[in-house]
Chain A
Amino acid sequence: SAVISQKPSRDICQRGTSLTIQCQVDSQVTMMFWYRQQPGQSLTLIATANQGSEATYESGFVIDKFPISRPNLTFSTLTVSNMSPEDSSIYLCSVEEGARGLNYEQYFGPGTRLTVT
């Protein structure tokens, strides 16, 4: 299974600033996913990042607020822009392995805990 690391593991930021979260995978993967988990809530998919193309955003999430880069098959970044306290969440990166309908599975990184003051 893929091993995923994220940086930073946690951060405390002031409102109005931006934070870039890095996700590194130990193997080449086609699709990478970014999720948000607000306090006491479950995970919500922000966007899907496919190498070589623009990220696909879910309803309620926009590129200006959450720009994503995917420069190669093992790395992606998510930026949380112009932060407000409502952005305080755990942000998780995940990757998929296997073929859909067969042995497909998603693996998650350790998460980045963001607090906006």
Chain B
Amino acid sequence: KQEVTQIPAALSVPEGENLVLNCSFTDSAIYNLQWFRQDPGKGLTSLLLIQSSQREQTSGRLNASLDKSSGRSTLYIAASQPGDSATYLCAVFCNAGGTSYGKLTFGQGTILTVHP
């Protein structure tokens, strides 16, 4: 059974700092990994998608890496801003054991607060 763990559970940083969020998963047989952002009480916004054959993806100030063999991914946020404050969720997509479809398994999330 796939399990996804995110560290740290919460992070508070001053504006302008570079930061790293960590995600690990137990089963390396994944199709891809997604990083999402969730604002309080809201739905999910997809930030970055890394296919299993890729090592990293970049979008603006965000960079996500994937080491499939070791079951790890990191989300790097450069020059953090108060508007980056949100919960960041990591999810891996893999076969739903024995079925014909896949499923996303989510980590618990990292609550990020960037203070001015």
Interface residues of A (CB under 8 A from B): 1, 6, 31, 33, 41-45, 48, 56, 90, 92, 94, 100-111, 113
Contact = CB atoms under 8 A, between A and B. Distances in A.
A107 B44 CA distance: 8
B42 A110 contact: yes
5 contacts: A45-B104, A90-B43, A100-B31, A101-B51, A110-B42
Instruction: With a 10 A CB-CB cut-off, give which of A56, A106, A110 has the most chain B CB atoms.
Output: A106
Nearest to A108: B44
B90 to A, nearest CB: 10
Number of chain B interface residues as a range:
20 to 34
Interface of B: 31-32, 34, 36, 41-46, 49, 51-52, 89, 91, 93, 99, 101-104, 106-109
Given A43-B89, A90-B41, A109-B43, A104 B106 contact: no
Nearest to B87: A42
Nearest to B93: A104
B101 to A, nearest CB: 6
B99 A56 contact: yes
B9 to A, nearest CB: 10
Contacts of B109: 42
B107 A42 contact: yes
A100 B51 CA distance: 10
Q: Is the interface of A mostly helix, strand, loop or mixed?
A: strand
Nearest to B30: A101
Contacts of A90: 41, 43
A42 B109 CA distance: 7
Contact of A42 (B34, B51, B89, B99): B89
Contacts of A101: 31, 51-52
Contacts of A102: 51
A110 B49 CA distance: 19
Contacts of A103: 51
Contacts of B103: 33, 45, 48
- Listed from nearest, the 5 A-B pairs whose CB atoms lie closest are A108-B44, A110-B43, A111-B43, A42-B106, A43-B106
Nearest to B53: A101
